[in-house]
Amino acid sequence: MMDQSTVEFQVADLAPLEGHGAAPESEYGSSTEQADAGHGAKPGLPQLDTSTFASQLFWLIITFSFLYWVMSRIALPRLQGVILDRSKKIQGDLDEAAGAKRASEAALANYDKALADARAKALKLGEELRNKAQAEANAKNDAVSKQLATDTQKAEAGVAEMRAGAMSRLAVIARDTAAEIVEKLTGEIANAGDIDAAITTALKRS
C-alpha cells in the first residue's frame, strides 16, 4: 500500500509533463483517492487483524512445535543430565561423608577400647607391683625379725655370760674381802665354807 506522501511525490514528478501529454485528471484523482483509501482502511495492530488469524495460528503451531522439539530433544535432556550428574555427585559426597563418619566412630570406639584396656592393664600391673613390694617387704621384715631375735638371743646370752662372769668374780672378790675383814677384826682366819655360804645367800637375795 502507498501512503499519501508517496502519491504526492509521484504527482510532483509528473506535473512538468503536462505539455508532453499528461494523464487524464480523472486518472490522477482516482490514484490519490485509492491511496487515501488504502492509507486509512485498516487501522490498529496487524496481529489483531481477523483476516490473518489462520496464518498466525499456523505459524504459532509451527513455532511452538519447533520449540517443543528443541526443548524435549536437546535442552531438557541436557538439563536432566546435568541435574542427574549433580544428584549423583551430591549422593556420592553424602555417602563418602557417611563412610568417613562411620570410620571416625569406629576409630573412636577402638581408641576408647584401647584406652580402657591400657587403664585396666595399668591397674593390674600396679596391683601386681604393690603385692610384690608388700611380699618383699614382709619377707624382709621376717628376715629382720628373725635376725633381730637371733641377735637378741645372742646379746642376752652374752649378757648372761658376762653377768655370770661378773658374779663369779664378784664372789671371789667378796670372799677375799670378807676373809680379810674377818681376819683383821678377829685376828683369826675365817672359815671358807661359812664365807661362801654367806656370799651365796647374799647374791641370791640381790
With contact defined as beta carbons under 8 Å apart, do 199 and 178 qualify? yes
Q: Which long-range contacts (CB under 8 A, 24 or more apart) does 78-86 make?
A: none
pLDDT per residue of the chain (206 residues) written in tens, 0 to 9:
444 444 444 444 444 444 444 444 444 444 444 444 444 445 567 767 778 888 888 999 999 999 999 988 888 888 888 999 999 999 999 999 999 999 999 999 999 999 999 999 999 999 999 999 999 888 888 888 888 888 888 888 888 888 777 777 777 777 777 777 777 777 667 666 776 777 777 766 66
**C-alpha 203: how far from chain center:** 91
Three cell numbers written together for 114: 584401647
Question: What pLDDT score was predicted for residue 185?
Answer: 74
Three cell numbers written together for 199: 656370799
User: Grid coordinates 638371743 are at which residue?
Assistant: 153
Question: What pLDDT score was predicted for residue 39?
Answer: 46
Query: For the chain, what percentages of helix, strand and coil (3-state, to nearest 5) are there?
Result: 90, 0, 10
